[in-house]
Structure 1
Amino acid sequence: MSRTSLPDPAATPPPAAGDASRAHARAAAEAPSLRLVRLALHGCFYALLAVALVPALTGPRAAAVAPAALALAAVYGAGAVRQARRPRLWLAAVTALWLALLVLDPGFSYVVFPLFFLWLHALPVRWSLPAVAAGTAAVVAAQAATPGGLTAAKVIGPAAGAAVAVLTAYGYATLYRESRARQRLIDDLVHTRDELAAAQREAGRLAERQRLAREIHDTLAQGLSSIVLLARAAESGTPEAHRERVREIGRTASDNLAEARRFVHALTPPALEDAPLPEALRRVTARTVPGAAFRLDGEPCPLPVETEVALLRLTQEALANVARHARADHAAVTLAFHDGQVTLDVYDDGVGFTPGTGPADGRPRFGLHGMRERIAELGGTLTVESAPGEGTAVAAALPVPAAAHPRDALGEAA
């Protein structure tokens, strides 16, 4: 059966080790007014005990009163400070000592008022209210033994004190329940916030991993693949062609080293550091597929860094596919600037393939998937048109912001 009132540490078992941090957080978040009320209750008990003890020490039973009062003070203090694991046993000892003092001297009647709150807190309803009534009756009986006998004031005073204690305890219990409910709500909000933060961290981790996978595939993997193709080509041919292939391998390896360093420093791609986008695409085209044509349409305008990087990576990926798979006689790259849009087209007349099907070796086409994701993140579209024997056309369209940020801003910041 539930208790009715004062939440006191003396009646609350200590938390398990696994709940220590949560219990500490609740204790820290508990309303200071509740702790102040408990301290005031304990202070009231000792104050009333001292007020009753001073005149009792001058009475005929001082020799018996003093040890009993000291014992009561010690037992009460031990339970309040050490937060007894068995509060009912502690309360029974306090009550027995108080009754002994009440028999010795009726002046200890006033000590019953803080005991009212302890009974209402530590005992179930079916016991606490009878305990308050019994304590009131004991006080009335003790007062009736004083000079003047039993009077209405000696009955009304203790009864009114008991009524006030009961009403106050119930009000305090309501306040405490609201505080606990609010604390549970705070705990839920904190838990939800932690879960949301963890989910955001995980989403960020996955997004970063996906970004790095695209970057590595579009840069280092393509460069290493070019080095492999050049090394195979260098195995045959004239000595002059062999030396040219070796020099090309060195240049490609140097570019890949610069890309690897960029990953560490998060800088602009090396191809865009010393040349505008059209010139960078022209160089990539000539280096990746010798003999491929590059064409520029429209008037170039400053583009955001992420847009230039996306177009550069798309060109590298598409041309790498041409070099590895297309077996094309001709290839062309077209960069066009329109009003509010920039487009990039990569075309070859090679063997083509059926879009939506995997390669013959069974490996997934991560390049196409990565290109679509990269372009889609910038609000653009990517289409791939191909058919067996009819070549392949890769077309990307990206919006150009009205106030595009020049690439130079990142270069100055770096």
Structure 2
Amino acid sequence: MHASFFLLLAVALARFLMRHSHDERSPWIVALSVVVALVYGIGLVRGVAERATVGQRVWLTLVVVVWVVLTVLAPSFAWCAVPLFYTGLRTLPTRAALVLVGLLAVLVILAQLRLAGRLDPDLLLGPPTVVVIATAVFLQMERQAARQRRLIDDLIRTRRELAASERREGTLAERQRLSMEIHDTLAQGLSSQQMLLQAAQRVWEADPGKARAHVGTAASIAEHNLTEARRFVHDLAPADLARGLAEALRAVAARESGDRLTVQVRVDDDGRADRLPDRVQSALLRIAQGALANVREHSGAGSAVLTLTLLDDQVVLDVADDGCGFDPAALPAGASGVRGHGIPAIRARVRQLGGTLTLESAPGEGAVVSAAIPLTPATGARPRGSAPDPAAQTPQGLENTDPNRSPPT
């Protein structure tokens, strides 16, 4: 409709100049045409025509007033009223829009009668009929669109409430399960250890043999509790890692791929990625999920490449996209994130493992998020076919996978 206004204005001006090139009104007609075109164009450029504000009504009033003057001077400009009908219906309240449409229709009829030079029933009945039909259709479509918007809003709100309810129920169920597991295993075991150690303390001097038996039983219970704790940690690890890190990354890429985004996965690990510690594999998987979520939600990219490279001294995860990019140097110090809230979480995970996070991007040139995690003796994967190194065990007792070894103090 906006384009048709400029087209009709140009056609009316050309028609007037062709028929009245030497008319004394010509300079005024040309000047007023330029004015109304500039006012209309400025309103579009500044977005006034699309916002229901006081400025929009002032803009529409100014356009209509200049158009009325043009139509009085040159009736051929009357057909510019057609896009003004719809502009008024879209921007004004219904009653005010109907009043404006009625006034515009009357001016069109008078202008056409003036051009015809005689009283023509077609000119008296045709334009009002067209205006009534067009207005009724527009108002009906607006009501249907409003009902659809309300329905969509209700569906979105219901879906969010249902998802939140399901998350709450799932969280409560998982908390209840863990609390029962901890109570029935770890808590009971710790209580038994406490009683055995207290009993050993009471008889330590009177019956050393019995005291040592109590301590031995407490140590056996501690070992059992350690096994249960390892089971909890294993159960809470990402489910995708059950098939290995490489397959887990491919599964994440498949979930993030869709109509607008294609994600490719490249793995160069010589088959050693699955021997990385669980916490490193879990961190790499979460980093990939966060980076791809940023790509999907903020970059507008059509393709992304996820690359996992396992070197001798570090493991590197790169996520590159061909999206809109950004300027890392323009970020203020202490910014909460880049293209969303995923970068701070990624940076925290990398920092916990002693690694580094690198952001490479420029506006319009895509972005690369690179996470490098060092393979220290505590985190590194063993070379293929080599025996486990006792010194390579992590200091945390929960990550000690040998049930016959006591955790280091």
> TM-score, normalized by length of structure 2?
0.50
Bigger relative CO (Cα 8 Å, ≥ 6 apart) = 1
Query: In terms of Rg, which structure is larger?
Result: 1
